[in-house]
Structure 1
Amino acid sequence: MLTHPVRRVLSRRLSVIKTKQSTRRCCSSSSIEDVDQAGTLLQLCVDRHYVSPGQPNVELFQRGMCCSYGPLGTELRRNLLDQWWHSVTGSRAQVFGLNTLSSSSSRDRAADGGGQLRMVESEHLKQLLDRQELSKEQLIQEVRMLLQRSPSVRTNLLQGALEQFVPSMELVNRKLPFGLAETGLCLQPSRGSGCPAEVTQTSLVWFCSPRTSSQWLDHWTRQRLRWWRKFARSPSDFSSSEVPEEELEEPASRGVRIIYHFPWGPESLETLWSRGNSELLHTHQGVRSKLQPRGGQKSIPHVVSVTGNMDRGMMAFLSNSLQQLKREDSKQRLQQRRVLKLHPVLAPVKVALDIGRGATVEMRRVCEGLLQEFLEANILAWPGYLDTAQTSMEQLNTKYDEMGVLFTVVIGENTLESGLLQVRSRDTTIKETMHISEIRNFLSRYISAADNI
């Protein structure tokens, strides 16, 4: 049953669906079914500890903003960011990591000063507004001066990479191309809602020669689309499209969006821009000679930027992985099985450990030993054996399927006698018997093989 917050979010989304029907892909399901699917996803994410409950939090999550994540959501985001980092820094030899400040007064020198977000102490502003002796003009002037003295808050990671271009050129012996990568929180403008929100952003800023910038934009578009589709259950839900000329961001000459088709319509996950060199020149005014690469080239490098929203990316993979299957139970009753078929590399929990009937104390000790082995192998395990509530295996399987757990391992009397345990697969529901000494290597090989596909 949907909570009141979820119902409010869905009622708003229904109006969005009606305005976006012309841009959606052709599909057999109706708008109402799409809303039901979105509601199911949101409710499941709250129930299974991906997202913390609460109306503001659910709304932030569905808008693709950073929200309060539960334990599984936190682990999923960490896995996603790790995979993004490895894919970008490992795809080319000359990509280096950055970590710039989220707020800075020096950033103002490179910005145009319009529409910036700034940090101001509320108490300081309150004291200023309480000064009755100030006229309206004087108050406006004081507020303007306060804002000018206050540090600006970043809304993207691009500027930090532009500022680091000159020292990075020395690192690569002034040779092109090379890139600077960074992940971090950015504050997004309110766009009329009255309150900015944070976004977990990823950024690759690629510096190249002017004549190759278009080719590099095509290269990174293929690379990024391939990366998103690698972890998808339905890769065709991810696509790329050129940004129309009237929507080009200043000073970009060309743009491409990586898009995911949600039940309510398409949303952008990553945007790639061919930005030219005007921002680089503006950031490093007066040092033009330091911007030129080695080899007698007098041209200023061009910038290709790749900016992603990993909060929306998380929701895309959760939406893409949700599978609803109808089946009959042992009493011939029709039931619906919901499974989060997250990619093995992204799945927050790889294995759940539970015990069957028998010598509980001894079996728990076996589980504790296995849990330690998994932790040493960096395999996140769910200690289901610690739950003392009476739950059937069918109920446990339903719970773990909705959590996206890859395998469920059940320790029983046979384990104590012969070392054999039962392993159930999330994706096939097949139960196999395996020796306890094999399970750790089996999981490691399974995850590694899935990562290399």
Structure 2
Amino acid sequence: MFARNKKKLSSPTKKGPINMLSFCVRRINFRSENVPKILLCRLAFAAFQHSCTARSGAVDSDDTKTLMQLCTDRYYIASGEINRHFLQRGASCGYGPLGMELRKNILEQWWNSVIGSRAEVFGISTLHTTMGTERNGRWKIVDAENLSQLLTQKELSKDQLLQKLQTLLQNGTSVRTSLLQGALEQYVPSLELVNRKLPFGLAETGMCFKQSDGTGCPDEVTLSSLVWFCSPRTSSQWLDYWARHRLHWWKKFAQGPSDFSCSDVAEEALGNGATRGVNIVYSFPWGLEPLETLWSLGDAELLQTHKGTRPKLQCRDGRKSVVPHVISVTGNIERGVLAYLYNSLQQVKKIDSKQRLKQRKVLKLHPILAPVKVALDMGRGATVELRQVCEGMLKEFLEGGISVWPGYLETMPTSMEQLNIKYDEMGVLFTVVINDGTLESGLLQVRSRDTTIKETMHISEVKNFVSRYISAAENI
């Protein structure tokens, strides 16, 4: 149960910041005193689901329906409309095995690109919940059972109810809505790392909660954050530097780099003391959506976090001592997952041997991001012996850090054409088929997702071949 932490609660009949569940429960409670508590919660959640469905319906184009169905069928997201709606609006959803691996790969590459780009960037980790602090705009966790019991106490007057609700919220646990605050709080302890010399940065990834349009309930999101501390005289140049850096990174893994672009935030949209903003955006079928946002925040946020300690905040800028300016780079990993899925989906038309027109769907994810590098399958032959060979190859691939899909464990017979369709839609880079001939000569077939060409090579060469291919793709 989440509620916004505000100094004063609004009446449910007015336009106020009361949580959706609290709002729905209070309305029902005042109108029908005999509604069971469990029904109140179900009604509130139904209202939330209805809002999700209504909001995302406008973006269900043919391409979107095709992609969402493929993601469900091929283990990227769990089944159910609610998971599709969450993913489409850039919120965390129920991921399947391949979706989790894709998100992990994106996070890992983001981390390597930021931490590995400069020696002055350091990784940190902060708590996503905070006890006993009051911060405006924070979401809070409260016990749903306690809230439900409170709302069903008939003897309470409206003022008494509001007072008890306020106390319940104040005693709740705050959850973070961004990673910026944690980096600002760790600024002073980090000064010894850099000998009080500018510039330097603090990077972090983790779960946060954000306001969901129209529902009043928070969405769970995975955010990436780089907070860069620099001299006031060079802050504009550093903002441009990081904007170019981040745009180049997003384009690096794209099949269609032109779908990623960079644009300045309009002046009327600047907030939180920002003097300038830049968005890294992706062109979805329904329009442009930001993947990462960069803000030039000046020194106000840092001074607000460390009140009364201005001398402790000063760093060396040449011969001068200055309070640094802050540049915040925040990315939405969920929206990044969706962008790369859209960008990699290709629907290729071809004519088969019987002159029938067929459409081949392929997730051409970059080799570094592809959740599965190799699929292992068996052809005709002695089943027990072939499976032993597959298990040996599986172990060898895993020891080399290469992700494998154990297709040989399938018990239902499947044609090679059906397997190729399945693995193309999963985005598997290579399909390795072991057959009777492999037992005799050590030769097997390796099919490429991107070219559909089948190569024959010796079993001892396959691991090195795949490793070299992935390494080459990483260095492009």
- Per the normalisation by structure 1, the TM-score is 0.91
Query: Alignment partner for residue 334 of structure 1, among 357, 366, 372?
Result: 357
Matched, 1:288 2:310: yes
Aligned length: 425
Kindly provide the CA deviation profile for residues 7-43 of structure 1, in whole angstroms up to 9, marking residues without a partner as x.
Answer: x989865646xxxxxxxxxxxxxxxxx8111110011
Distance 1:106 1:87 in 2: 36
* Partner residue, 2:116: 90
* Partner residue, 2:65: 39
What SS does the aligned partner of 1:79 have? Answer: helix
Q: CA deviation at 1:191?
A: 2.9
* Partner residue, 1:219: 241
**Is the CA contact 2:102–2:370 (under 8 Å) kept in the aligned structure 1?**
yes
Distance 1:57 1:220 in 2: 33
Q: CA deviation at 1:264?
A: 1.6
- 1:429-448 to 2 correspondences below 5 Å: 429-448=452-471
- 1:36-435 to 2 correspondences below 5 Å: 36-105=62-131, 108=134, 111=135, 113=136, 115-294=137-316, 297-435=320-458
Q: CA deviation at 1:368?
A: 0.6
What SS does the aligned partner of 2:456 have? Answer: strand
**Is the CA contact 1:52–1:69 (under 8 Å) kept in the aligned structure 2?**
yes
Q: Select between 129-138 and 115-124 the one with higher mean Cα deviation.
A: 129-138
Distance 1:297 1:123 in 2: 57
Q: Would the alpha carbon gap of residues 132 and 14 (structure 1) be closer, same or farther in structure 2, given more than 3 Å must change?
A: closer
Q: Select between 191-200 and 42-51 the one with higher mean Cα deviation.
A: 191-200
What SS does the aligned partner of 2:322 have? Answer: coil
Amino acid corresponding to residue 345 of structure 1 in structure 2: I
What SS does the aligned partner of 2:355 have? Answer: coil
Q: CA deviation at 1:61?
A: 1.0
Distance 1:195 1:145 in 2: 20
What SS does the aligned partner of 2:238 have? Answer: helix
**Is the CA contact 1:155–1:188 (under 8 Å) kept in the aligned structure 2?**
yes
**Is the CA contact 2:56–2:89 (under 8 Å) kept in the aligned structure 1?**
no
Distance 2:422 2:151 in 1: 54
What SS does the aligned partner of 1:91 have? Answer: coil
Q: Would the alpha carbon gap of residues 338 and 215 (structure 1) be closer, same or farther in structure 2, given more than 3 Å must change?
A: same
Q: Would the alpha carbon gap of residues 60 and 14 (structure 1) be closer, same or farther in structure 2, given more than 3 Å must change?
A: closer
CA RMSD after TM alignment: 1.7
Q: CA deviation at 1:358?
A: 1.4
Amino acid corresponding to residue 325 of structure 2 in structure 1: H
Kindly provide the CA deviation profile for residues 221-277 of structure 1, in whole angstroms up to 9, marking residues without a partner as x.
Answer: 000000000000000000000001011122100000000001121111000000111
Distance 1:10 1:338 in 2: 27
What SS does the aligned partner of 2:272 have? Answer: coil
Amino acid corresponding to residue 65 of structure 2 in structure 1: G
**Is the CA contact 1:242–1:256 (under 8 Å) kept in the aligned structure 2?**
yes
Distance 2:293 2:333 in 1: 12
Distance 1:130 1:43 in 2: 43
What SS does the aligned partner of 2:377 have? Answer: strand
Amino acid corresponding to residue 102 of structure 1 in structure 2: H
Q: CA deviation at 1:133?
A: 4.8
What SS does the aligned partner of 1:443 have? Answer: helix
Q: Would the alpha carbon gap of residues 12 and 149 (structure 1) be closer, same or farther in structure 2, given more than 3 Å must change?
A: closer
**Is the CA contact 1:10–1:39 (under 8 Å) kept in the aligned structure 2?**
no
Amino acid corresponding to residue 274 of structure 2 in structure 1: A
**Is the CA contact 1:10–1:35 (under 8 Å) kept in the aligned structure 2?**
no
Amino acid corresponding to residue 301 of structure 2 in structure 1: E
Kindly provide the CA deviation profile for residues 365-384 of structure 1, in whole angstroms up to 9, marking residues without a partner as x.
Answer: 11110000000001011111
Q: Would the alpha carbon gap of residues 141 and 286 (structure 1) be closer, same or farther in structure 2, given more than 3 Å must change?
A: same
Identity %: 67
- Per the normalisation by structure 2, the TM-score is 0.86
Structure 1: 4+ residue segments shifted above 6 A = 8-11
Kindly provide the CA deviation profile for residues 151-186 of structure 1, in whole angstroms up to 9, marking residues without a partner as x.
Answer: 221111000000000001122111111111111111
Distance 1:186 1:300 in 2: 28
Distance 2:212 2:337 in 1: 21
**Is the CA contact 2:53–2:85 (under 8 Å) kept in the aligned structure 1?**
no
Distance 1:10 1:419 in 2: 54
Specify every segment of 5 or more residues in structure 2 that has no aligned partner in the other structure, as ranges. 1-50
Q: Would the alpha carbon gap of residues 11 and 167 (structure 1) be closer, same or farther in structure 2, given more than 3 Å must change?
A: closer
Q: CA deviation at 1:118?
A: 1.0
**Is the CA contact 1:323–1:339 (under 8 Å) kept in the aligned structure 2?**
yes
Specify every segment of 5 or more residues in structure 1 that has no aligned partner in the other structure, as ranges. 1-7, 17-33
**Is the CA contact 2:132–2:171 (under 8 Å) kept in the aligned structure 1?**
no
Kindly provide the CA deviation profile for residues 411-452 of structure 1, in whole angstroms up to 9, marking residues without a partner as x.
Answer: 112211111110000000000011111100111110011011
